[in-house]
């Protein structure tokens, strides 16, 4: 069968696999099992499709067809059908197939960086041989389910496969609750960020906390939507969670992207992209760093060997400005620009005032875009997008555009998102860089200094009294929460000596 699968049928089919796990394992663990199997099924079906085409071109010469180049090569005995033949210890056979496929498809070294490859892409393989958690019967049910459809390119082109994959990521996020924030960012906000930064053919794109790779993919989608060449773009990402890092690599492959570098590791403690002994620089950086993490090596960052602490050292209880500084230091000196999705509190917290002063002094800050509530996954808090440019246009220098867009939020079926009209309006407002009554104001750096380096949007964009009070209260609440945490930690430390 070569008739394409509809998106609706594809989504139903993909989510059907997760339904089989209901009651068997915790929802937060679905992704560890579903994504590797989906990826395994897809690459085997695509390999079969390529092999059949090569076989026809070779006039039936199977040996010649097998010797041709393949996007991903499936070794003999490690195919989906080989696993399906096994009736016991199926998890062990899966692990064997995964390991052989990874070994058969190593990364390529291009310009000193490792690109693509499947090394480690199937994640933690020990989960498949833990029969207490994943008995053969459940694995068989998953294999039977995925075998119902052929996931070849003809039946499921890369864009459709990618759409289905993103649907599954979103469904897992909804099912898993707050634990999903580590790998899922509201895709409408990501689309806006890509339209603001306008990545161009031949540029490099980097996400230092890439999660499932959504920001990287949306950046490439922007190029596709403009009819621009996207295959020449160099894509980089780093992710601390090994499972999520593997999911990002699968996501890129399933979207038809093969030229990428995704590395595992803690971006603050151990940045993986280094060139000539220095932090690598990129043309476009997008990120949604983890919100105000408290467990990080502040002392090491205070004496950072990569010279990232250009604004100062953030407080232990909030690493937001550590991530901001990593991103600023990662921008290309010629045309580097970034968009960072952050909690609203970073704009006005007292403990970070001096770092904001240094940020304004740099004159890289281009725009602060305040967006509405519930656009952080499973969180009601307001967010903002901080946009910076290492080489601001002459008309932007010494100025910052403030945009108050908290009212531009659509909510449907319990989900908040930006509509296409919202995205177009906000992207245009940024690129026009002109005042818009009730929406945007251009402010000089001197005016920001007069406001004690507050970047709170309501200080500069005229809004209702109620809205201003609400935003001020949010900032006060953030500060109070931090003070409470410091007090609790101090009391706990003191209690050790009592």
Same domain, 193 and 116: no
User: Contact 3/155 with Cβ under 8 angstroms?
Assistant: yes
Say if 308 falls within a structural domain: yes
Say if 486 falls within a structural domain: no
Say if 199 falls within a structural domain: yes
Same domain, 372 and 394: yes
Cβ partners under 8 Å of residue 326, min gap 6: 208, 267, 268, 271, 308
Same domain, 283 and 378: yes
Q: What is the CATH number of the domain that holds 202?
A: 3.40.50.150
- Choose the final residue of a domain: 156, 176, 196: 176
pLDDT at 486: 46
pLDDT at 360: 97
Domain count, the chain: 2
Same domain, 79 and 153: yes
Same domain, 87 and 193: no
- Choose the final residue of a domain: 148, 176, 204: 176
User: Contact 429/403 with Cβ under 8 angstroms?
Assistant: yes
pLDDT at 84: 94
Same domain, 254 and 120: no
pLDDT tens for residues 336-348? 999 999 988 899 9
Q: Which two tokens stand for residue 257?
A: 């992207």
Same domain, 214 and 157: no
Residues of the chain with pLDDT under 50: 177-183, 464-472, 474-475, 479, 482, 486, 489-490, 493-494, 496-498
pLDDT at 149: 92
Say if 498 falls within a structural domain: no
pLDDT at 496: 46
CA–CA distances in Å: residue 108 to residues 91, 152, 261, 427:
29, 25, 10, 37
Say if 467 falls within a structural domain: yes
Phi-psi region of 147 (alpha: psi -120 to 50; beta: other; left: phi over 0): alpha
Same domain, 198 and 69: no
Same domain, 36 and 127: yes
Say if 489 falls within a structural domain: no
Same domain, 136 and 191: no
pLDDT at 133: 84
User: Contact 301/309 with Cβ under 8 angstroms?
Assistant: yes
Q: What is the CATH number of the domain that holds 28?
A: 1.20.1260.30
CA–CA distances in Å: residue 177 to residues 375, 397, 408:
14, 42, 25
pLDDT at 22: 82
Q: How far apart are CA 445 and CA 450, in angstroms?
A: 9
pLDDT at 472: 46
Taking 3-state DSSP, the helix, strand and coil percentages for the chain, each rounded to the nearest 5, stand at 45, 15, 40
Same domain, 223 and 249: yes
* Domain of residue 77, residue span: 7-176
Q: How far apart are CA 288 and CA 379, in angstroms?
A: 14
φ and ψ at residue 274, rounded to 5 degrees: -125, 135
Same domain, 162 and 234: no
- Choose the final residue of a domain: 147, 176, 205: 176
User: Contact 122/102 with Cβ under 8 angstroms?
Assistant: yes
Say if 1 falls within a structural domain: no
As a dihedral over the C-alpha atoms of residue 318, residue 320, residue 321, residue 327, rounded to 10 degrees, the angle is: 150
pTM listed for this prediction: 0.84
Phi-psi region of 476 (alpha: psi -120 to 50; beta: other; left: phi over 0): alpha
Say if 325 falls within a structural domain: yes
User: Contact 387/196 with Cβ under 8 angstroms?
Assistant: yes
pLDDT at 497: 46
């Amino acid at each position: 069968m070569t008739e394409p699968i509809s998106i609706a049928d594809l989504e139903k089919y993909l989510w059907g696999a997760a339904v089989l796990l209901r009651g068997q394992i915790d929802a937060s663990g679905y992704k560890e099992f579903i994504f590797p199997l989906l990826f395994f099924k897809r690459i085997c079906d695509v390999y079969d499709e390529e092999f059949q085409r090569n076989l026809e071109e070779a006039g039936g010469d199977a040996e010649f067809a097998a010797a041709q180049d393949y996007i991903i090569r499936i070794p003999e005995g490690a195919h989906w059908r080989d696993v399906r033949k096994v009736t016991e210890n199926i998890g062990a056979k899966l692990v064997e197939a995964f390991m052989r496929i990874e070994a058969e498809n190593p990364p390529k070294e291009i310009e000193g960086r490792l690109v693509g490859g499947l090394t480690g892409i199937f994640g933690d393989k020990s989960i498949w041989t833990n029969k207490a958690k994943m008995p053969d019967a459940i694995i068989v049910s998953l294999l039977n389910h995925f075998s119902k459809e052929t996931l070849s390119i003809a039946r499921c082109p890369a864009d459709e496969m990618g759409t289905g994959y993103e649907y599954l990521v979103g469904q897992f996020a909804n099912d898993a609750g707050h634990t999903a924030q580590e790998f899922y960012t509201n895709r409408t906000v990501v689309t806006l960020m890509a339209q603001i930064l306008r990545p161009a053919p031949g540029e490099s794109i980097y996400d230092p906390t890439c999660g499932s790779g959504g920001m990287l993919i949306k950046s490439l989608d922007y190029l596709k939507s403009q009819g621009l060449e996207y295959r020449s773009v160099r894509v980089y990402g780093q992710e601390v969670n090994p499972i999520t890092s593997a999911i990002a690599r699968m996501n890129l492959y399933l979207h038809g992207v093969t030229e990428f570098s995704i590395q595992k590791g803690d971006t603050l403690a151990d940045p993986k992209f280094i060139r000539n002994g220095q932090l690598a620089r990129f043309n476009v950086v997008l990120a949604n760093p983890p919100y105000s993490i408290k467990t990080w090596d502040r002392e090491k960052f205070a004496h950072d060997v990569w010279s990232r602490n250009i604004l100062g050292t953030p407080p232990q209880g909030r690493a937001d400005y550590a991530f901001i500084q990593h991103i600023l230091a990662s921008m290309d000196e010629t045309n580097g620009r970034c968009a960072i999705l952050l909690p609203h509190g970073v704009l006005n917290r007292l403990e970070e005032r001096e770092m904001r002063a240094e940020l304004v002094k740099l004159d890289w800050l281009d725009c602060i875009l305040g967006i509405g509530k519930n656009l952080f996954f499973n969180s009601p808090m307001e967010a903002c997008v901080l946009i910076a440019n290492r080489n601001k246009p002459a008309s932007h220098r010494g100025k910052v555009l403030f945009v108050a867009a908290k009212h531009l939020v659509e909510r449907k079926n319990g989900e908040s998102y930006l509509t296409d009209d919202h995205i177009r309006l906000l992207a245009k407002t940024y690129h026009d860089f002109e005042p818009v009554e009730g929406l945007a104001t251009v402010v000089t750096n001197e005016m920001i200094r007069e406001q004690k380096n507050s970047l709170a949007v309501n200080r500069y964009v005229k809004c209702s009294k109620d809205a201003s009070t609400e935003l001020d209260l949010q900032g006060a609440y953030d500060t109070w929460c931090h003070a409470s945490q410091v007090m609790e930690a101090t009391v706990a430390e003191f209690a050790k000596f009592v």
